[in-house]
Chain A
Amino acid sequence: MTIAEGAKFVAAAYAIILAVLVIYYFMSARRVNTLKRDVELLEQEVQRRQPAAGESGD
């Protein structure tokens, strides 16, 4: 196998590694933001319902 042919495989391997890791990194970053927003919204909702229920919240 020549160097040129070998290089194609090497490039493919590293490309896959890079792609998977980068995609996972951004997916988890996005998940953090989405969840943080959800927590904020839900906490506001809990606050809102507290006085109406007349008991201290969780």
Chain B
Amino acid sequence: MSSDSAFVRATDAVKAQLRTRLQPVWAVLCTVLAPLDRAIQPVADLYNRSLGRHFGTMTGLQFGVIALGFGMIATVPFWSPFYSETLNITFAVASIWAIFAMSWDIQSGYTGYISFGHSVLSGAAGYTIGLLILHYDPSMGPLVTIPLAVLASLVLGLVIAVPSLRLRGPYFSLITLVGVLLFTNLIFAFSEWTNGELGIHQVDPFTYEPWIRYYYMAIPMLVIAVGLTYVARSNVGMVLLTIRENERAVSSAGLDPTKFKISSFVLSSIPMGIGGALLVYYGRAINPVSFVEISNSIEIIALAVIGGMGSIIGPLFGSFLFFFLEEELLRDFIEDSSTRTLVLWLFVLGVLVFARNGVFRVVWHALGAVRGDSE
């Protein structure tokens, strides 16, 4: 690491300043929160003894905040009207993007092989549905189209992963980058089939009832979150993380790094397909701009970075935070949408510079340390 570079020294100095300034606030928080932490501990221990083995153990406060977070996500339609009329919609969209961010994380966040083109996977699923409905049978329901859509992104995942992940180093990232550009251009090249820029609009939604629609997005998201957290906490997560830290060590352990890299990409492409299908039925349409173009891939990375790469749950909350800021909180202060986007990306940059392990991890470690047990 170039720990002596001027930039790193400057940011470290700012971080140290912040830490000293916040020390009194932190001390007050600790005295307030420590009893609460102790109070919840017995409940957390129940979880730790039963499911903790598979999903990681937690302190009282960590458990409390996770339970509160998931409780709030599970009840958005009931409390969101008290905040704003649109929050319901914002969090439905955040759920879909949380699926994308978590899917990206199990592959790129864990193995360190950064994909710049994950939106081709959701795009493949989306266009499969769009093309089936437009050209094959308009009456096809989601029970038929969604499995086919997921299959399409799985196949595309294999097509990308097998040649590119055999190589070590930056080639994988470059190939995903080219892949997303290629896919975008294919949509335009076959405009008579895909309607080009206009996209396909003949998709019927799951339902017109907003609160039910929220659950159509949130429930699959929560199921995927549990599934991917389990995988990440299993030995698979350990192998993927070792690929990121030292790929040779994986070979020395008698494990084939290529096999694990390809498998993680394929595993990632399944929820990407599900998310892509949900996005089609949510927006009742599919077009290159909001599905496939590279900016979508970059946004997926941003969500994961905000929450914290390599943690699954981090990207989930990162997505909710990002969309809450973009569509709700910042909207109240900043009228102009491009200024809002600028502020958001400055926020992403800030996270990368000052908390590169993600906002979620900072909060998580703070919650775990209120009793002064760790560090």
Do A and B associate with each other? Answer: no
Q: Which B residues fall within an 8 A CB radius of A?
A: none
